[in-house]
Amino acid sequence: MKKKFDLEKAYHLYLLIRKTEEKIVDLYNTDKIKSPVHLSIGQEAIAVGVSMALNNEDIIFSNYRGHAHYIAREANFEKFWAELYGKIRGTARGKGGSMHLNDISKNFMATSAIVSTAVPEAVGYAFALKYKKQSGVVICYHGDGATEEGVFWESLNFSSLHNLPIIFICENNEYAIYTHQNKRSLNDPIVDRANAFGVNAIKVKENNTENIYNITSEYIDKIKKNSGPHLIEFMTTRWMDHVGVGNAYDLGYRSTEEINKAKENDDLNNLQKQLSEKKVEEIKNSVMEKIENAVNFAETSEFPYSTKELYDNVYE
């Protein structure tokens, strides 16, 4: 049975992601954060809407732009910050950084810096679920750039052939680093080609958290009725540069009009308007306190000084 959309929770998660990444921007040039960062500012509605539709048994595979996915899944927030700081109490003991997050207790699998690597991993996990007759749906986040890797289409074919319980969530921000999609692929190809592989695929243009939640919930229900794999292409806009904390138009490949239009349609504002001023203030205070506590946790944690740390949990 579909859960009712929780407006307060959606606003809280959305705001927590936004304020977290704004804090990262503030801190980045101090060198306290010890790894490159790929920010999700502008794309938060997808992570929030999808994650709120999931159950505890469902599994998430993310990617290097995974902050929003991790936070929306309500994974360990203090460990997240400690990992960005390169501290031993981080999700990867300070050795992975922003692009290598994990929280197995939340079924959030370890992310990778390599484009599309999570796609076959997610399909393999979905195959294992079906083979073992276990419940749960696999969520595989990826960008439009990942769809240009051969392994993506091989994975769609395998998931369709075996009728696997997986939803591919394509966060299409239209840019692979600095190149627009229409300069990389012909005829807006993702949904049509996915359908040709037997994957039930749709495109969603509205950046609306509740709509994203409803669509994801509907697809999860269908998968539980053995409908096979699905793909949802969510159109979105990242406001920041591909990597780092610069603006997306600093290098001249994006227009300010494009970014400003996305900001005008920011669903965070829409969520806030539906809440009372008292509730908004309460959630804002809670979010800022949580960030302050987590940053303090990171700053007071130790670095992995021991030479033993060079070899622990490192495999060839």
Q: Where are the domains of the chain?
A: 7-303
Report how far residue 211's alpha carbon sits from residue 217's, in angstroms, rounded to the nearest whole number: 10
CA angle, residues 89, 95, 96, in degrees to nearest 5: 100
Report how far residue 215's alpha carbon sits from residue 223's, in angstroms, rounded to the nearest whole number: 12
- Bridge-partner residues for 230, per DSSP? 167, 200
User: Tokens at residue 217, please?
Assistant: 């919930």
User: Tokens at residue 197, please?
Assistant: 């592989």
Q: Which residues contact 294 (CB under 8 A, 6 or more apart)?
A: 77, 78, 80, 81
CA distances from 63 to 68, 101, 157, 245, 253 (A): 11, 9, 21, 18, 23
CA angle, residues 310, 313, 316, in degrees to nearest 5: 85
pTM for this entry: 0.95
CATH class entry, domain 7-303:
alpha beta
Q: What is the pLDDT of residue 62?
A: 98
Q: What is the pLDDT of residue 316?
A: 59
Those residues of the chain that have pLDDT short of 50 are none
